[in-house]
Amino acid sequence: MKISRLLIYIVLIIFAIFYLMPVYVLLATSFKSFAEVNLRDMWKLPKNLSFESFITAWKGNPQRGLRGLSQNFMNSIYLVIPATIISALLGSMNGYVLTKWRFKGADIIFPILLFGMFIPYQSILIPLVQVLQKTKLYGSILGLIFVHSVYGIPITTLIFRNYYATIPSEIIEAAKIDGAGFAGIYRRIIFPVSMPGFAVVMIWQFTSIWNDFLFGLVVAPNPSVQPITVALNNLAGSYFVEWNIQMAGALLTALPPLLVYIFLGRYFMRGLLAGSLSGT
Amino acid sequence: MKKVNKEKIVPILFLLPSVILIAIFVYGFIAWTGVVSLVNWNNVFPDYTFVGLKNYIELFGNYRFQISIKNLFVFTILFITSSLIIGLFLAILLDRKIKGENIFRNIYLFPMAISFVVTGVVWRWLLNPGTGGAGGSVGINMLLDKIGLSFLKSGWYTDPRIGIKAVVIAAVWQMSGYVMAMYLAGIRGIPTELFEAAQVDGASTWGVYRFIVLPLLRPITLGAIIVLGHISLKIFDLVFAMTGSGAGFSCDVPALFMYDTTFRGNYFSQGASIAIILLISVAVLIIPYLRYSLRSEVKR
C-alpha cells in the first residue's frame, strides 16, 4: 500500500514536470540577456536576471525594425473589455427570456443559436470580410469588437440559460402576479442574483477573446490594430532569431489569461465545464 | 387580452437582436459561403459565374488537400485518444485522496488558459531539431539525450514522416488537463454509497473503477470526444504558429489550407469549398450530439 501510494505521487510529479517544462524554458529564456541566449544552453538558468528581453519585446527596437508588443497589448485590452461586456449582456438577456419567458418555438431557437458556437469560422470568413469591408469596419478594433460580440452570443446564452434555470420560477410567477413586468423582474430579481453567472461568462469570454487568433489575423491585417496574439506570431516569425525576445513576448501574451486563471480559477472551471454542455 | 399580448411580445423583442445577428452572421454567411463555393471566384475580383461542383471536384484531386485531410484524420485520432487516456489516468490518480491535489490539478489545467498561438511558439522551440551549431542537440532532443533516451530523438515537425504528430504533442499538452477536469468532476459526482456497497461486496479498487466508475463516466467521455473533436477538426492557430504547413505539407490541415488558398492565394471559391467540407464534418459530429443532449435534458 505504501509503495503504491509513493508510486502514485511519483507519476503525478512526472506529469507535473511535463506540464511545467515549457513554463520553465519560457521563464529561463526570457530573463536571459541577448548575449547569454544560446540554443545549447536553453535548459540552463540565467546567470543573472535581465529584463532586457521584456523591454525589447514591449517597446520594440526601431533600429532593427522590430515592432514592440505594447500597442498590440493595448489593442487587445480595448477589444476584449467591450466585447466581453456586450456579449455577456446579450447572453444574460437571452438566458432570461429562454428560461423565464418561454414561448412557443423557444426549444427550436435555442439549439439554432447554440450551433453557432461549434461552426468552423472558416465557413463564415469570406462573407464576413466582404461585409466588414463594405461597412468600413474591416481592419478596425471596432470591427473586431463587433465580431467577437456576435460570435460570443451562443456560449454566453448557454451559460446564462443554465444559470437562470437554477433560479426558482415561482419567484418570477409571484412577481408577475404582483404586477411586475419583463424589465422590472429582470432589474429587481434576476440581475441582482446574476453576479456569479456574469463572473463565469465574463471570464470565459475574456479568455477566449484574448486568446483568439483567427479573427485577429483575418479581420485586422494592419499591424497597428492587430491584437497581441497576431503580433506575437509576427514577432516570432520575423527573421531575427532572438529566442529571448520571443519568449518574453509569449509571456506577455499569456499573462492576462493566466492571471485570470490563477485568481479566478473557480469561475474559469465552471465556464470550462459549461462549454462542454455538461452543465445542462 | 391586450396585456397578454404585450407580455408575450416584449421578451421576444429582447431576444430578437441576437436571433437576427445569428441568422445573418452564422446561417446567412454559411449560405453565402456555400454559394461562393459553387461559382468561379478564383481571383481578387468577385466572379459569381455558376460552375456547379467544379471547385469540389478540383479540390479532391488536389494533392495538398489530400494530405491535409489525411493529416487531420491522424491528428484527430491521436489527439482525442491521447487526451482521453491521459485525462482519465490523471483524474483517477488525483481521486486517490492526494495531498496537494489542488496544486497538481492547477498545474495540469493551466495550459487551457493559454492561447494556442503561445503554445505553438513555445513548442516550436522545444521541438526544435537544431543542433545549436555545435553538433549537439537542443530542446526536447537535448533533454532526451540527458536522461538516456536518445533513441527517441527526432526531427519532429521538420521530419515529413512525423510532421503532424509533433503538433499533437503540443495539443495534448494544452488540452489533456481539460479532460482531466471533466473526468474528475464526473468521478466526484458519483454517490459514495456506490463505492461503499462495492467495497462491502469485496470489490478491489481496480474492480470499482473498472465496473462502476468507468461505465458511469461514459456520458463524460462522449462530451469530451465532442469538445476535442470539434476543436481538432477546426485546428488552425496551433499549426499556423508552430510549424506552418511544413515540409511537403507534412503538417498541413484543411483550416490552414483554407486560409492560404483564400486569403493568400485569392482562390475564394476554392477556399469556400474547403470551408463547406469542414463545416459538414463538424455538423456531422455536433448536430446528433446537440439533439441527444437537449432531448435528455427535457426528460430530466
* pLDDT at A64 (0 to 100): 78
Q: Which of B114, B143, B185 lies closest to A254 in CB terms?
A: B114
Chain B residues touching residue A25 (CB < 8 angstroms): 122, 125-126
* pLDDT at B143 (0 to 100): 83
Lowest mean pLDDT among A140-144, A200-204, B107-111, B129-133: B129-133
Low-confidence stretches of chain A (pLDDT < 50) are 278-280
- What is the SS3 string spanning chain A? CHHHHHHHHHHHHHHHHHHHHHHHHHHHHHCCCHHHCCHHHCCCCCCCCCCHHHHHHHHEEHHHCEECCHHHHHHHHHHHHHHHHHHHHHHHHHHHHHHHCCCCCHHHHHHHHHHCCCCCCHHHHHHHHHHHHHCCCCCCHHHHHHHHHHHHHHHHHHHHHHHHCCCCHHHHHHHHHCCCCHHHHHHHHHHHHCHHHHHHHHHHHHHHHHHCCHHHHHHCCCCCCCCHHHHHHHHHHCCCCCHHHHHHHHHHHHHHHHHHHHHCHHHHHHHHHHHCCCCC
* pLDDT at A239 (0 to 100): 59
Give the CA diameter of chain B: 87
To the nearest whole Å, the CA of B110 is away from the closest chain A CA by 7
* pLDDT at A1 (0 to 100): 60
CB-CB under 8 Å, A8 with B96: yes
Name the residue in chain A with its Cα closest to that of B111.
A19
Contact status, residue A243 vs residue A37, Cβ threshold 8 Å: yes
Average pLDDT, chain B: 90
Chain A residues touching residue B2 (CB < 8 angstroms): none
To the nearest whole Å, the CA of A268 is away from the closest chain B CA by 9
Contact status, residue B127 vs residue B166, Cβ threshold 8 Å: yes
Measured over the CA atoms of residue B240, residue A217, residue A157 and residue A256, the dihedral's sign is: positive
Chain A residues touching residue B294 (CB < 8 angstroms): 107, 110-111, 280
Is B104 in CB contact (< 8 Å) with chain A?
A: yes
CB-CB under 8 Å, B28 with A213: no
CB-CB under 8 Å, A154 with B121: no
- Give the HSE-up count for residue B138: Cα atoms under 13 Å, Cβ half-sphere: 21
Residue B2 pLDDT more than 60?
A: no
Question: How many Cβ pairs within 8 Å bridge chains A and B?
Answer: 258
* pLDDT at B133 (0 to 100): 67
Residue B97 pLDDT more than 50?
A: yes
| b (16+ CB within 10 A) / e for A113-129 | bbbbbbbbbbbbbbbbb
Q: Classify strands A60-61 and A66-67 as parallel, antiparallel or unpaired.
A: antiparallel
Chain A residues touching residue B28 (CB < 8 angstroms): 127
Complex ipTM value: 0.92
What kind and span of H or E run contains B123? helix B116-126
d(CA A256, CA A261): 9
CB-CB under 8 Å, A122 with B275: yes
Tell me what the mean pLDDT of segment B160-169 comes to. Answer: 91
Q: Which of A22, A103, A249 lies closest to B11 in CB terms?
A: A103
CB-CB under 8 Å, B293 with A20: no
Name the residue in chain A with its Cα closest to that of B35.
A127
Residue with cell 463564415: A124
Residue B5 pLDDT more than 70?
A: no
Q: Which of B12, B32, B224 lies closest to A127 in CB terms?
A: B32
d(CA A120, CA A241): 33
Chain A residues touching residue B33 (CB < 8 angstroms): 123-127
d(CA B143, CA B153): 9
d(CA A127, CA B119): 30
Is B236 in CB contact (< 8 Å) with chain A?
A: yes
Residue B283, C-alpha cell as written in the block: 455538423
d(CA B41, CA A127): 13
CB-CB under 8 Å, B15 with A94: yes
Residue with cell 544560446: A38
Contact status, residue B212 vs residue B198, Cβ threshold 8 Å: yes
CB-CB under 8 Å, B223 with A211: no
- A-interface mutation test, from B26, B258, B262, most A Cβ less than 10 A away: B26
d(CA B30, CA A118): 13
Residue B16 pLDDT more than 80?
A: yes
Q: What radius of gyration, in Å, describes the C-alpha atoms of chain A? A: 23
* pLDDT at B1 (0 to 100): 46
CB-CB under 8 Å, A236 with B124: yes
CB-CB under 8 Å, A268 with B113: yes
Query: pTM to 2 decimals?
Result: 0.93
Residue A50, C-alpha cell as written in the block: 535581465
Residue A208, C-alpha cell as written in the block: 477566449
d(CA B59, CA B262): 13
Q: Which of B107, B116, B279 lies closest to A213 in CB terms?
A: B116
Chain B residues touching residue A247 (CB < 8 angstroms): 122, 125
CB-CB under 8 Å, A261 with B138: no
Residue A151, C-alpha cell as written in the block: 460570435
Tell me what the mean pLDDT of segment B116-141 comes to. Answer: 84
Nearest to B186 by CA among A279, A262, A118, A11: A279
Name the residue in chain A with its Cα closest to that of B127.
A22
Give the CA diameter of chain A: 75
Name the residue in chain B with its Cα closest to that of A8.
B93
Q: Which of B25, B115, B128 lies closest to A253 in CB terms?
A: B115
Quick: pLDDT tens for A75-91: 999 999 999 999 999 99
Chain B residues touching residue A232 (CB < 8 angstroms): 117-118, 121
Is B128 in CB contact (< 8 Å) with chain A?
A: yes
Chain B residues touching residue A209 (CB < 8 angstroms): none
Residue B137 CB contacts under 8 Å (≥ 6 apart), including other chains: B129, B130, B131, B144, B145, B153
To the nearest whole Å, the CA of A213 is away from the closest chain B CA by 6
CA dist B141 → B79, B136, B162 (Å): 22, 9, 14
Q: Which of B33, B185, B289 lies closest to A127 in CB terms?
A: B33
* pLDDT at B206 (0 to 100): 82
Contact status, residue A5 vs residue B105, Cβ threshold 8 Å: no
* pLDDT at B300 (0 to 100): 52
Contact status, residue B108 vs residue B90, Cβ threshold 8 Å: yes
Name the residue in chain A with its Cα closest to that of B259.
A122
Residue B77 CB contacts under 8 Å (≥ 6 apart), including other chains: none
Measured over the CA atoms of residue A245, residue A264, residue B241 and residue A12, the dihedral's sign is: positive
Lowest mean pLDDT among A12-26, A179-193, B33-47, B143-157: B143-157
Quick: pLDDT tens for B243-288: 988 888 999 999 999 999 999 999 999 999 999 999 999 999 999 9
Residue B137 pLDDT more than 80?
A: no
CB-CB under 8 Å, A90 with B18: yes
Q: Specify whether the backbone of B135 is left (phi greater than 0), alpha (psi in -120 to 50) or beta.
A: left
d(CA A57, CA A31): 12
* pLDDT at A280 (0 to 100): 37
Residue with cell 459530429: B285
Name the residue in chain B with its Cα closest to that of A206.
B113
